A and B are shown apart, each in its own frame.
Chain A
Amino acid sequence: MQMLFLALAAIALISGVLVVFQTHPLRSALWLIVNFFAVAGIYLLAHAEFIAAIQIIVYAGAIMVLFLFVIMLLNLRRPEEETEPGYKLGQKLTAVALAALTAVVLVYGFFRAKIPLAKETAVSVGNTESIAKSLFTDYLLPFEVTSVLLLVAIVGAVILSKSRLK
């Protein structure tokens, strides 16, 4: 179990690094799909089967297909001239230092956190039934608000892609 976790974590981290440092966005997108699959495997290890399935269907399926569509839509002309303007070395070092600071703050927060959650006694956490029960009872209002959010996103995306920016 632990070996499986470490292997999946290594895949996730390596593919994450490749997402950041690939020159072509298409390759970044493909490595991001690998990353999503590895994280979905880790969700399975953490007894979140439903979320793992959703991760593969929604993220690796729908969202990444959308990304690939847009990349292929935009970068079709002059692919060889499209070189990304680079940052100076100092700027890159500052960015890495800021990210390291973020990580340090997060680790500090995690290890100092006193979490007052009581241990609940859900027998089968993670199956679709318990998530559905939580979604339709305790979180019913957020669930409905989510549908409004998706409607707003649909309308926004349609309007943005219909009219040209003036």
Chain B
Amino acid sequence: MLECLEKQNEIITLKNLSVRYKNFYALKDINISIKEREVIGICGESGSGKTTLCKTIAGIEKYNGEIKFLKDLKFEFIFQDPTSSLNPKMLVKDIISEPLIVRERITKREVICEKIKKVVAEVGLDSSIIEKYPHQISGGQKQRVAIARSIVCEPDILLCDEITSSLDISVQAQILNLLKDIYEKRNLTMIFVSHDIFALYYISTTIIVLYKGMILEKGKADEVIKNPKHPYTKILISSILTTERECIDIEVRENKTKSRCIFSDRCFIYDKECDSFENELINVSDTHYARCIKV
């Protein structure tokens, strides 16, 4: 899958993108090119700019810099909390058909019914669910409804913002499998935001690590997870708890630094050399970058 990706066309490029709220940069110096059929996984801690990046790409956030669409693209969003993203006063069938009516301006009832029936089956729900209200169904089912709503208009790009975070563990795997099926079946490009590295690794082809609004590391999923270069990514990956191994001891330092490196105050390999760092992304390989002088 990865090999064929390289030959594929870029469909979106972000150049020198930044988002600023007064004096605070929520995103800074973001350069990404998104290719067709790519799944971009974005991880980082809270406040790192994951959601802002997602929103900016979808065009619902003011930004400086350049976003270039090289093709006519249709976006859809799936949100974190299915309970608050579905209107409690609407039946499931109305929720799913709303984008068809509002966006596609389809008026024929038979066409709408047919489309609803098709996506409800595709997301693995029973057809009886369309006559129910959101409060009558479980969290996992709600997230399936949200996914059905997002694919009913046949989008080109799906933006998924922490879509498994509020679900139970046994249901998370169901939703991830479903998302992968939809990706394989439809001609989709995805942006998948999550703080859960497991989910990210399972679904993504490319991984971007954000920290304080900047990209600290970017590369193919295997490169970033199996061979992380930035100290922050290393800490992030070793601090994940699993059921299979003992917890690895990690060191988080508190340095007093004047370095321009944004991670230098917590970095465990910080030394004098870092003070001369220009805080730029450095190539590790053709596809792998890290913002660290020591790579």
Are the chains A and B members of one assembly?
Answer: no
